[in-house]
Amino acid sequence: MTRLLLVDDDAQLRAGMSAYLRRVGLEVFEAGSCAEGRQLQAAESPDLTIVDYDLPDGTAFDVLQSMREREASDSAIVLTGVGTIELAVQAIKSGAEHFLTKPVDFESLLLLIERTVAAQRQRRQHTASKLAARAAPDPFLGTSPRIQELRELATAVLGSDAPVLIQGETGSGKGVLARWLHDHGQRSEEPFIDLNCAGLSQELLASELFGHVRGAFTGAVSNKPGLIELANKGTLFLDEIGDLDPLVQPKLLKVLEERTFRRVGDVALRSSDVRVLGATHRNLAALVQTGRFREDLRFRINTLTLDIPPLRERAADIGEIARTLLAGMGKAASSAARSGVETDASRIEISEDALAVLRGYPWPGNLRELRNVLERALLFRKGSVIDRKALHFDRGLEPDLAVGAAPRTLDEAERQHIDDTLRRLGGRVDEAAKVLGISRSALYAKLKKLGLGPSAG
């Protein structure tokens, strides 16, 4: 809900304006002076301040000055009974978004509020996006042929605005790659907006993507721009696009083909110049066959396709990845309990026997699981070295940690892991596929390749 501060010494005007703005769903705070306004700004952090120019203890510029001193990110609209060009210019230079003369038409004011808050939200997202870009991890750590091939393909698509489909198992780094494509592409100075499509109802998904107008449905008390609108000129990343509701899919196809859309409940056609990146761990071709995904949307979204290899297929990269992850974890909070001295995680070493275990594990959760295992290892290590005894995996999925155990091939490790998972789940392939983070068809293919049966026993 938008939080608004109204500062005006005209109690009657303030009451009428506040009542109207509350009716349309805004949260309104009221003040009758500069001092009260500054106090409420500090206490409530409103999204927008509407302030009358002439106040009993100063002017709107005093309130604007207070906002600058606090380095507030909220916006302001200045009202005045007698407007001049000079005053308007001074107000804008002082930090106001808009300058209006009284009397104020409430409906016009509401439209201006919505536009101002939407622009403010977009600025904040852009700032957050830039900060995230500076700390973004490298999606191409390692020297294995698979990851180098991915780097070459990803670099080749940077100059294009065509949609990209990123495929990979759960936890393999699809979001990291999407972020890299934006940060190194032609739209890097524009917004990067992301949405996970999994588990969202058709109504919520449509509202999030396309926005809605006031009164479109119960609870739509004000106009709301959608993510497609906010991502204009930038990138929209749709994670788990395979879970996109079938009723929303044709609307997304229209965005991809015509760059146009309608807010929910609106008849006006809007446009947005946005590059769409999609990601999924599902087999879209199989979803098309079952009628859960439109074939024309699949062809449109996978104009360019990037496949992220699972971690188990590039075991040679695990050492570099593990050291990089540790360096980015900062200080290990639990080390004080061990030694009484905080230790920088970037100084922690990994023993060769621990690396051997990490390289032999099948990593059903990929990079995300590796990070979790390393975070646990920081808790259980002794001293500044992570050895194999400090490694703790999910219950039931531990690799063979016996000292002197014979090394296994990746196929052998994968076969054992799939066999163990099927045993624990009573041979139920659908459930095993979910646990392993792969599609049912992919699991059947692995069962055939590895000589396992669905009821392995």
CATH of the domain at 17: 3.40.50.2300
Query: Which has more confidence, 414 or 315?
Result: 315
Q: Of 289, 307, 325, which marks where a domain is finished? A: 307
Upper half-sphere CA count for residue 345 (Cβ side, 13 Å)? 20
When pLDDT is cut at 50, 70 and 90, the band that residue 139 belongs to is very high
For residue 434, what are the domain limits? Answer: 410-450
Rg (CA), the chain: 28
91 within 8 A of 99, measured Cβ to Cβ: yes
Residues contacting residue 53 through CB under 8 Å, at least 6 positions apart: 59, 60, 78, 79, 80, 81, 87, 91
In the structure, what pLDDT confidence band is assigned to residue 406 with cuts at 50, 70 and 90? very low
Domain for residue 50, yes or no? yes
Tell me what percent of the residues of the chain surpass a pLDDT of 90: 48
- CB-CB contact of 401 with 391 (8 Å): yes
In a domain, 133, yes or no: no
Give me the mean pLDDT over the 348-376 stretch.
91
Q: pLDDT value at position 72?
A: 61
Q: Tell me what pLDDT residue 317 has.
A: 94
Asked whether the predicted pLDDT for residue 404 surpasses 50, the reply is no
Same domain, 263 and 348: no
Note whether 122 and 271 are same-domain residues.
Answer: no
Q: Which residues contact 69 (CB under 8 A, 6 or more apart)?
A: none
What's residue 178's pLDDT?
A: 97
Same domain flag for 183 and 158:
yes
CATH number, domain containing residue 430: 1.10.10
Same domain as 425, residue 384: no
- Average pLDDT of the segment spanning 137-161: 93
Task: Spell out the alpha helix ranges (H) of 236-351.
Answer: 249-258, 284-289, 295-301, 318-328, 335-339
Whether residue 415 is predicted with pLDDT greater than 60 in this model: the reply is: yes
Do 438 and 327 belong together in one domain? no
Domain count, the chain: 4
Q: What six digits make up the tokens of 29?
A: 């705070």
| Interatomic CA distance for residues 404 and 356, integer angstroms | 11
For residue 456, what pLDDT band results from cuts at 50, 70 and 90? very low
Q: Is 212 helix (H, G, I), strand (E, B) or coil?
A: strand
- Whether 242 and 282 have beta carbons less than 8 Å apart is answered as yes
What is the mean predicted confidence (pLDDT) over 95-122?
Answer: 85
Model pLDDT, residue 334: 39
Residue 42 belongs to some domain of the structure:
yes
Pair 143, 318: CB distance under 8 Å: no
User: 275, 307, 339 — which closes off a domain?
Assistant: 307
| Residue 128, pLDDT score | 61
CB 366 within 8 A of CB 310: yes
CATH of the domain at 248: 3.40.50.300
285 pLDDT above the threshold of 70:
yes
Q: Which CATH number belongs to the domain containing residue 368 in this structure?
A: 1.10.8.60
**Do residue 320 and residue 432 come from a single domain?**
no
d(CA 240, CA 278): 7
**Are 165 and 249 in the same domain?**
yes
Q: Is the pLDDT of residue 340 over 50?
A: no
Confidence (pTM): 0.64
In this structure, the answer to whether residues 356 and 446 fall within a common structural domain is no
Three-class DSSP category at 214 = coil
Q: What is the pLDDT of residues 162-219, one digit of tens each?
A: 999 999 999 999 999 999 999 999 999 888 999 999 988 999 999 999 999 888 888 7
Report yes or no on 456 lying in a domain: no
**β strands within 81-222, DSSP E:** 98-101, 164-167, 192-196, 211-212
Query: What integer pLDDT is reported at residue 434 of this predicted model?
Result: 80
pLDDT of residue 398: 62
Instruction: Check residue 294 and report its DSSP letter.
Output: -
Is 399 part of any domain?
no
Cβ atoms of 253 and 210 within 8 Å: the answer is no
**Total H helices, total E strands in the chain:** 19, 18
Q: Which of the pair, 339 or 416, is modelled with greater confidence?
A: 416
Say yes or no to pLDDT of 30 above 90: yes
Q: Say if residue 7 is in the same domain as residue 108.
A: yes
Specify if 425 maps to a domain.
yes
Residue 45 belongs to some domain of the structure:
yes
Examine residue 401 and state whether it is found in any structural domain, yes or no: no
pLDDT at residue 127 in the model: 66
